[in-house]
Structure 1
Amino acid sequence: MFNNIYNTTSKSIQQRLYLQTIIIAIFLFTMICISIWTENTLTMITAIARFERTHTVSRLEAKVSLLEYIDNRNDQAKESFYTNMAITQSYNKVFSNLLVMRKFKFENEFVKILETTFKEADHNTAVIIVNRIKVLYWHPIIKELVDYADKAHRAGEKIVKLAPLVMSANNEVQISSILREIERNEAEFVSNEHSFSKRCSDLSNEIANFVSYFSITILIFSVGFVSLITFLIAKSLLQQAVKHACDLEVSRRQYRNLVEGTPDLIIRIDVDGRFVFLNHAAKEIYGLSPEECIGRLSSDFIHPEDKEPTIDAFQAFLKSGKEILKYENRLVGIDGREHHMAWSIIAEKDENHIITGFASTGRDITERKQAEEALIESEERFKMVLDGSQLGYWDWDIETNVVHRNERWAEMIGYTLKEIELNVKQWTDLHHPEDRDATWQSIQDHLENRTSAHNIEYRMRTKNGDY
């Protein structure tokens, strides 16, 4: 279904965009003819706008650098403040003196001033600006631009003079007072800056009125150009959308297989400890369906004896800053059954590193715990039987080479259990020399499955030297 929608929509969009592309071709030749005529005037407006954006960015960077210096006393920030303010002030200074420089400076010298003031201005751009100002110097808007630039320049100078005072201030009251004065001058600066921008726009509009027939052509060109770009972008976006939808479906299917295919309990809880997601294992562990668990407190299902230790472990986990909490506790389902759980818990955080919830995977280890308890109980019973029967026994862990013995074994050869070392060497050293080889051969035969048990009689040396 999605593919049908895509094919229909894609074909319709492509037909419409192809038509708009043809319109571009029709008007392209006309545009080439008139573009030369409008190029110089539009270049001047664009250059002024570019310089305007440049010094606006410089002013903002200067403010940021000043605040950074106040906070950190960073000399690099101080240098950045004066550098950016110099760029801003040079812009306003040039435009505040345009008419004066026109009267007293040669054209080449004026061009040179523009080139050295604005690093991004090439020679041709500077020449175009000079030529246009020569033509438009009489226009009232040019005079207003000069006035706004002059006012902005004076406000900027005040900010530059106040900067050393706030940089050298030692208390918060003084810093706040100077910063308010700086902000007042900055507001005046911004106001003139905005007025400058607005009058630049007005100048652009008035020039456009003189070349209205050029504007119509530019509009057609713009529509065609935008249509071409729209076509290319739309085609790319549609292709990406289809691929993304397919990838997303595959990802969702893999996620469902992973989450619903595992026997482990997978849950997500919010910062209040309430369930927001559970997989199918919730039915087995909690005795409720995932839908019935949503909104319930996860702590309601923790065994009463494990609640406080679980809370303590959670708090220690949050304070530690670790990525994963490994923990075991018991849960009690709605049906009263207990489950021993082994948890892996991860804190979920937003882009500000604030915890928004927790994702947990819990494995039911009830059978393992029961087996461990049964083993412990069996070992305790075995020990009681041995102790009651007055038999000595030894247990050799071949991998670790540790030999465990009971108290009776040590007593039988005159030692206490503390005097017996947990190794094989002392054991073999106590063998009668004539029995040692036969004893080890019996052990080797059993290890190689040639006998069902290690069953042999041999002599051992007692503490007093007898056998």
Structure 2
Amino acid sequence: MIKQFFKKSIQNKIYSIVGIMAFVVLLMVLIANYTSTTLNMVTSFARMERTHSVSLSDAKTNLYKYFLFNDPVYLQEYKKYIEKANSYSHTFGKLPELIKLKQHEEAVNIFNDVFTEVDRQETDIIITRTNLLLWHPIVKKLIQIAANTDRITGEYKETVEKITKTTGYERITLLLKLKQIEVQLEDLPKQFSDAVGELSLFASNLVAITLWTVYILLTAISLLITIFVTKSITIPLRKIKDSFKSLAKGEGDLWYC
């Protein structure tokens, strides 16, 4: 193959090498685009986690105001915020099922209706990238944490519902149970945030590896171009030089120059 390459004209050699270089650059651009959109997805996950945590905090604040002042307005506010937090964990925890059971556009619509801090384009990226990365341990971990949060939030809501309907010793027992559930519920967003950090590190490392790969490949290709073009020029010149030497000695034929 190398011999065949050297038999080509200089122009064809340059075309071949430039074509290879263009293919490599295009491949690296596609990889870089994939990694950059993955980083955007990670950023969106972090924003979702913050919204969920704030909603959960607001729900607890209004719940305890209701316990103190017995004002139904606070209870309604609690329900509003806890439902928002629960919709986040429920939808994210069911993401694999949502992707598999629904058409892509339908999955995007459902996800976009729940997660209001991301626009449709970002949602499309999230659904696509999550579908491609469902095999990754960190993505599996994020989905599992969300599913656990959904389950524990359900227990929290059920306990609160019982508290609002009881009095006396049973109410105190339920309040103690509620505090235990809260401890679990408060730890899960931290776990999710840590997992998002791990995913961000993975995506950043992927970008760094991609950039270094591009640099090394382009350097190698540039070096090969220099070597091949130089040889393509020096070999014919050497033949011409040898022909002229032969002519100077009275040998050879100018026709072969």
After TM superposition, the score normalised by the length of structure 1 is: 0.37
Q: Does 2:181 align with 1:185?
A: yes
Shift of 1:121: 2.3
- The structure carrying a bigger helix percent of its residues is 2
Give CA-to-partner distance per residue, 1:25-66, whole Å, 9 cap, x none: xxxxxxxxx996754222211111001000101111111111
Letter in 2 for 1:202: E
CA distance in 2, matches of 1:215, 1:92: 35
Q: Does 2:94 align with 1:97?
A: yes
Residue of structure 2 in register with 1:140 after alignment: 137
Alignment of 1:102-181 (within 5 A): 102-171=99-168, 173-181=169-177
Q: Identity of counterpart residues, as a percentage?
A: 27
Greater RCO structure (CA 8 Å; 6+ sep): 2
List gaps (5 residues or longer) in structure 2.
1-30, 213-257
Contact 1:208 1:215 in 2 (8 A): no
Give CA-to-partner distance per residue, 1:157-200, whole Å, 9 cap, x none: 011111122223333x4333212111211222222322222111
Shift of 1:89: 0.8
Larger Rg: 1
CA distance in 1, matches of 2:201, 2:190: 16
Residue of structure 1 in register with 2:66 after alignment: 69
SS in 1 for 2:116: coil
Letter in 2 for 1:166: I
Letter in 2 for 1:43: N
CA distance in 2, matches of 1:214, 1:182: 48
SS in 2 for 1:168: coil
Shift of 1:99: 1.3
Residue of structure 1 in register with 2:9 after alignment: none
Letter in 2 for 1:81: Y
- The structure carrying a bigger strand percent of its residues is 1
CA distance in 1, matches of 2:133, 2:42: 12
CA distance in 2, matches of 1:35, 1:62: 41
Distance 1:99 1:141, change over 3 A: same
Contact 2:47 2:117 in 1 (8 A): no
After TM superposition, the score normalised by the length of structure 2 is: 0.65
Alignment of 1:53-452 (within 5 A): 53-171=50-168, 173-212=169-208
CA distance in 1, matches of 2:205, 2:138: 15
CA distance in 1, matches of 2:66, 2:115: 26
CA distance in 2, matches of 1:37, 1:202: 18
CA distance in 2, matches of 1:104, 1:35: 30
> Alignment RMSD, CA only?
2.2
CA distance in 1, matches of 2:32, 2:137: 27
Contact 2:96 2:131 in 1 (8 A): no
Shift of 1:215: 9.1
Residue of structure 2 in register with 1:49 after alignment: 46
SS in 2 for 1:61: helix
Contact 2:39 2:204 in 1 (8 A): no
